[in-house]
Structure 1
């Protein structure tokens, strides 16, 4: 018998916050890789809610430090509403992006749900990047490099106040894993905010096991664990299908250990899978790896473990 609630797949097909086109095809690439069938084979109840519909990507240059701000706000509003609706029905939403700007909407919804339920929130941010840029710090204006900052209250009102007048989360709720690319101005801001970061230097020195043990410390029965999985977390040798590859990421076994240790907690209540870009992929190989890792988040392991 599985210990997970019914799952809802929510496709959010947009690359409006990214610097490369193509992530809008991510949800359907995950479907081609049989994400629904794989999860059902684990005995899980899965409903595919289809794809949300929002503004097209106009592919314009940044204005006042932000590219496509109005469109990004609208897509995040739609994402927030869809994720919150599933949580309210006692379901586990998997937001299939789309680029990582969409985590602003999904995590705003999760944070609201946790406040209403009186639950603590822990966010695992699996990514090559800290995504803690602002309009003043960003070299590109691409909002997929800003969602953690926006969630913590640093950014345009349309995103920082998506779920109300206060920041959706506090930096103390976030654990970032796999980081290996941080813009110059962003480094100081990450340090000042006190974000807990397990970068690849840390993982190289102490191992994925210790990084995950520390990132998961303090979880209890009243903690909702949200996993925001940017596929560029993975080393590009196993996951080439992203627009922002950074060499030196977790290998396949390190990634599997990460996911298995998350599954062992039994606390995951929501998930983002983002930045999968089939335009850069090889025969959907990255989508297949992503689905394999998602299966591990839901308890796949080599042997039965106590």
Structure 2
């Protein structure tokens, strides 16, 4: 990986209903992410947070999506920040914030690659559109938007679409998929490792297959890690916890294997909600996983 990391916070809580996830970047910083990465040997530049403010919470009358205009505005700002990081040649590390911020991250990253791969480490598919979403929450739509599906305001952030191809995605940890997402996965042949596959194959094989699959077809890989991919026992401070998730040791191993493979070119860690957390347990976990991803070893 590049030895210079630029961190940007995206304190967004507009893509869903539960407040508090806007404090996620602060919780991760408080858990010592900058010091941890510097100890590993990286030069870390903290660019602060994008400014989101407190816009009025509204439901778009045409689409039924919550806070569409505000989410679009925030993601445009994030895309510009990430674009600047990529132009400087640094590794972009984005701290969330709800998962809708992935729209902006991928808009800032994807154009620097001919065929970007994405590892979506998440309990959810985030493949909904206005037509399939049960809630209208945009944090359930960022992967769909990055594929060019959904409202133009979301898909065209950054001035181009799609940001990623269906065949360049691997979803890991899925265990809560909506009917429309299941149909899309089957129709497009999206590669998914549900908790069934993780339990049956083991995390080592899942990651070996993921790394091999993406190395064959991509020239860079973005890691989008939602802390709700982990079981709530390990990550209680998330907005949409789903029982039966990945455990701490499996996740640490996954990050270590990605570090060894040297395929990750950008990353975001999202959905840390300190209001719902236990003494910043989830923020500390996020930093632990970042340490493993960036090459930290016990010996």
TM-score past 0.5 threshold: yes
Residues 261-301 of structure 1, C-alpha deviations (whole Å, 9 max, x = no match): 11111121111111000010011011001100110001122
Distance in 2 separating the partners of 1:47 and 1:221: 31
Out of 226, 230, 234, the residue aligned to residue 226 of structure 2 is 230
Distance in 1 separating the partners of 2:297 and 2:28: 21
Out of 185, 188, 191, the residue aligned to residue 186 of structure 2 is 191
- Contact 1:55–1:71 at 8 Å: present in 2 too? no
Q: 1:13 Cα deviation (Å)?
A: 0.8
- Contact 1:23–1:99 at 8 Å: present in 2 too? yes
Out of 137, 156, 159, the residue aligned to residue 132 of structure 2 is 137
Residues 39-97 of structure 1, C-alpha deviations (whole Å, 9 max, x = no match): 00111100110111024243334532311111111111011110110011010011111
Distance in 2 separating the partners of 1:162 and 1:270: 18
2:172 corresponds to 1:177: yes
Matches within 5 A, 1:114-133: 114-115=113-114, 120-133=115-128
Distance in 1 separating the partners of 2:287 and 2:142: 23
Distance in 2 separating the partners of 1:136 and 1:7: 38
2:269 corresponding residue in structure 1: 273
2:87 corresponds to 1:88: yes
Q: Name the SS for the 1:41 alignment partner.
A: helix
**Unaligned runs of at least 5 residues, structure 1:** none
1:251 corresponding residue in structure 2: 247
Q: 1:165 Cα deviation (Å)?
A: 4.3
Residues 200-240 of structure 1, C-alpha deviations (whole Å, 9 max, x = no match): 01111111111111111141797212110111111100100
Q: 1:107 Cα deviation (Å)?
A: 0.9
2:47 corresponds to 1:43: no
- Contact 1:55–1:75 at 8 Å: present in 2 too? no
Q: 1:15 Cα deviation (Å)?
A: 0.5
2:14 corresponds to 1:12: no
1:99 corresponding residue in structure 2: 98
- Cα 1:143/1:39, change in 2 over 3 Å: same
2:73 corresponding residue in structure 1: 74
Q: 1:167 Cα deviation (Å)?
A: 1.5
Aligned pairs, number? 297
**Unaligned runs of at least 5 residues, structure 2:** none
Residues 233-261 of structure 1, C-alpha deviations (whole Å, 9 max, x = no match): 11100100001000011111111111111
Distance in 2 separating the partners of 1:166 and 1:23: 28
Q: Name the SS for the 1:133 alignment partner.
A: coil
Q: 1:144 Cα deviation (Å)?
A: 0.3
Report the more deviating stretch, 24-33 or 191-200: 191-200
Q: 1:19 Cα deviation (Å)?
A: 2.4
Residues 154-177 of structure 1, C-alpha deviations (whole Å, 9 max, x = no match): 111111111234312111111100
Distance in 2 separating the partners of 1:83 and 1:96: 12
Calculate the TM-score normalised by the size of structure 2. Answer: 0.95
2:296 corresponds to 1:300: yes
Q: 1:106 Cα deviation (Å)?
A: 0.5
- Contact 1:15–1:57 at 8 Å: present in 2 too? no
- Contact 1:127–1:176 at 8 Å: present in 2 too? yes
Distance in 2 separating the partners of 1:85 and 1:131: 26
